[in-house]
Chain A
Amino acid sequence: MERRGASVCSAYALTVMSRSEAITKWWNQGRNRVLLFQVLLILGTVLFFFLIGANALSNLEKQGITSGFSFLSQKAGFGIIQTLISYDESSTYGRTFLVGLLNTILISVLGIICATVLGFLVGIARLSTNWLIAKLAAIYIEIFRNLPLLLQVFFWYFAVLRSLPLPRNSLQMGDWFFLNIRGIYIPRPVPEQGFVLLGIIFLLSIAGVCALKIWARKHQEKTGIELPTLRTSLAIVIIPSTITWFATGGPLHWELSSLQGFNFKGGLTVIPELAALLLALTVYTSSLIAEIVRSGILSVNHAQTEAARALGLPQRKILRLVIIPQALRVMIPQMTSQYLNLVKNSSLATAIGYPDLVSVFAGTSLNQTGQAIEIIAMTMAVYLTINLTISWLMNRYNARTLLQEQ
């Protein structure tokens, strides 16, 4: 049987080949064929997901499980400890979704910024000519890169939490800052009349500084003379804002926290769940970023450094103008992966009670409503969207750094 099948096949192939020598059929033309297979693949994929969806729906119906998105307008009826938008127990599940989403975005953005800054510092320190600094950086990287993130989250949360005092014995600096087991309490800025004016003046001075920088660069390109802009910039930012501040009579006052009943009220609170998760994500990801920074810097040919030195550039400028721009080409694709990982890892929040999307929406809301398919699908869509956005931004940035080099 097999042999016969094979011979039929090869005979078929021969006829196809002999025909294609004469006239090339449209499906044998290179571009058409690529297109054909892609269309087939897309159709197949769509059909596959359609079948899965239809099957899931009919199964849900058979088991008597309610489906659909109408639950989003139902009252949720549970409390959340940290909300960036107004929320209370009478809000809907739709609102719960937004609260969770914003909390996830908050921890991701803070995490990415902190991990990048710390990662750069550690990565550069790792290459330092100072033996002690280089070794300390290496130890930092090896410890935090190799420990499971969940353990680090638990460590920062429970170990640090345990050593903090109860609210009544808070560590404090004057009446302004309080630190205890329930969080960090800082004054909350409350804007008053005239604050908008101050804001406008401030933004205008920032624009002024940008204009100055651009002009200075053009000037340098033309004449080769580098103008000192630091002092002028500082003056542009500080002087007008200060004058406006006093002219409007200080349009900002600070609301302080104070102990009332069980806990501190008023002011801003950074809950320990946020602090611990941020610490864990920052430390873990920065140890990975540090290695990326190192590999990026090492990838730049040493001759470049020597050439820059020969031009008489100081070490700081060599790093900023020569090495890092070239190192970025190696680093950016890897950094993108780290950012994506950080966003996904932020879902470990649920282990320590930080109210992120997975905790409040894919956790509590899912359990209260039982709408597993809808909620998990929405949650996955969120992570996908956030991460595709990050990838897109980073790819654009990557394209720009590549162009500059040529």
Chain B
Amino acid sequence: MNKCAISSMVALLLMMSAIPIIAGTLDEVKKRGTLACGVSTGLPGFSATDEKGHWKGLDVDGCRAIAAAIFGDASKVKYAPLNAKERFTALQSGEIDVLVRGTTWTKHRDTALGLNFAGVNYYDGQGFMVSKKLGIKSAKELDGAIFCIHAGTTSELNLADYFAKNSMKYQAIVFDTHDQAAKGFEAGRCDCLTADQSQLYALRTHLSKPYDSVILKDIISKEPLGPVVRQGDDAWFNVVRWSFFAMLNADELGVTSANVDAMRKRSVNPAIRRLVGLDGDKGQSLGLPDDWSYQIIKQVGNYAESFRRNVGRGSSLKIERGLNALWKDGGLQYAPPMR
């Protein structure tokens, strides 16, 4: 049996004895002293380790924000690298507390799998990467092509839908991890690598000649990616969801890791005073310390900072904010008010 089958079976056994894990994840995490956070096995910009072995990325910042809110220390996270096939079992069985791993919010996952999506930290869509030599401009020219895909993702289903809709034929070779799929593409086993567009940009940085490949303009699906928790634990769901909303609200109010201390001392804006934990009910309703959101902004930063540092202009991916701009700038990112 391979690694995945073994871990699935271990997870199964865990699931069978999982009664105490279901309720009270927040208490459980506090008692344990670390947050168990499921991330990808390595996707630059979203969750990957740097040369020193520290986890970095937009998804990793999601984990760090939750840890900062609970413990006042963003480093109290135990990362569990998971491939797409393992991720839900790991969450369902209680091996991890939260999954922040570019997971698409779909009806089936939200309902039948016993999961809840706590928000959307990245609005994405499925795209295609092909070799520049082929001279292809549009996805419609891909009839008869072979695709490399990462197993167990929505990409597999979207691809089938798209080709059926356009009465075209395709073949798919399905790999266990992003990395293997990219290797297959680089070796020339397939004509096209397909995944969420952000992932294509990330994987392209790993190719030996990144600029020999182009990412097509076509986007064939909507992929709202966000943090996931188990169904049936509302208190924990609130903590995860509002940790993310705190970063978005900070972005909207212009509070950054650099100016949060000054704002906390001087700001007269009531919204900012509530955000940094001076007014309002503070952390009580969430079961968190009063300075929970201050700690998130101070240690992790607001959404704009995290985006820029990991996937935007400050990173090697150079992805535009696009759909992920705030609602007031023409994007989709919108957080309910903090009051």
A contact set with B: CB distance below 8 Å: 52, 55-56, 59-60, 62-66, 77-81, 89, 158, 161-162, 166, 181-182, 260-263, 265, 272-273, 344, 347-348, 350-353, 355, 358-360, 362-364, 366-370, 372-373, 376, 379-380, 383
Any A CB within 8 A of the CB of B183: yes
Interface string of B102-116 (1 = CB under 8 A from A): 000000110111100
Could you list 21 examples of A-B contacts with CB < 8 Å? A63-B232, A78-B156, A78-B157, A78-B172, A79-B171, A89-B164, A161-B187, A262-B146, A344-B1, A350-B4, A358-B1, A359-B151, A360-B174, A364-B85, A364-B151, A367-B153, A368-B157, A370-B88, A372-B15, A376-B9, A380-B9
Q: Counting CB contacts under 8 A, is B170 at the interface?
A: yes
- Chain A residues, Cβ within 8 Å of B9: 376, 380
Having A56-B15, A166-B188, A351-B2, one finds 8 other A-B pairs with CB under 8 Å, namely A65-B112, A65-B113, A66-B112, A181-B188, A272-B189, A350-B4, A364-B85, A370-B88
Residue of B nearest to A269 (CB): B171
Looking at the complex, which one of A55, A161, A352, A372 makes contact with B175 (CB distance below 8 Å)? A352
In the bound assembly, the distance between CA atoms of A361 and B187 in angstroms comes to 26
Partner-A contacts on B (CB < 8 A): 1-2, 4-5, 8-9, 11-12, 15-19, 22, 84-85, 88-89, 92, 108-109, 111-114, 143-146, 148, 151-153, 156-157, 159-161, 163-164, 170-176, 180, 183-184, 187-189, 191, 230-232
Contacting residues, chain B, for A262 (C-beta < 8 A) = 144-146, 191
Q: Are B146 and A63 in contact (CB under 8 A)?
A: no
Residues of A within 8 A of B173 (CB): 81, 273, 353
Q: Chain A residue with minimal CB distance to B1?
A: A347
Residue of A nearest to B88 (CB): A370
Contacts of B171 in A (CB 8 A): 79, 81, 263
B22, A62: Cβ atoms under 8 Å? yes
CB neighbours (8 Å) of A64 from chain B are 111, 114, 231-232
Nearest neighbor of B93 in chain A, beta-carbon distance? A372
Cross-chain contact A372 with B231 (CB below 8 angstroms): no
Q: Provided the pairs A59-B18, A261-B143, A353-B175 are in contact, do residues A367 and B4 lie with their beta carbons within 8 angstroms?
A: no
Residues of B contacting A62 in the complex (Cβ-Cβ under 8 angstroms) = 19, 22, 232
Q: Which residues of B contact A348 (CB under 8 A)?
A: 2
Pick the residue among A60, A272, A347, A364 that contacts B174 (CB under 8 A).
A364
Closest 4 CB pairs of A and B: A367-B152, A65-B114, A64-B114, A63-B114
Q: By the criterion CB–CB under 8 Å, are B160 and A63 in contact?
A: no
Assembly CA distance A78 to B153 (angstroms): 11
Q: Given the complex, which residues of B lie within 8 Å of A261, measured CB to CB?
A: 143-145
Are B174 and A263 neighbours in the complex by a CB distance under 8 Å? no
Q: Which residues from chain B contact A373 at a C-beta distance below 8 Å?
A: 12, 15
A373 — nearest CB in chain B belongs to which residue? B12
Cα A373 to Cα B111 in complex, Å, equals 17
Cβ–Cβ < 8 Å partners of A79 in chain B: 156, 159-160, 170-172
Q: Which residue of B lies closest to A64 (CB)?
A: B114
Tell me the nearest residue of chain A to B148, going by C-beta: A353
Residues of B within 8 A of A265 (CB): 144
Please, which residues of chain B bring their CB within 8 A of the CB of A347? 1-2, 5
Chain B residues, CB < 8 A from A380: 9
CB nearest neighbor in B for A273: B173
Question: In the complex, are the beta carbons of A363 and B146 less than 8 A apart?
Answer: no
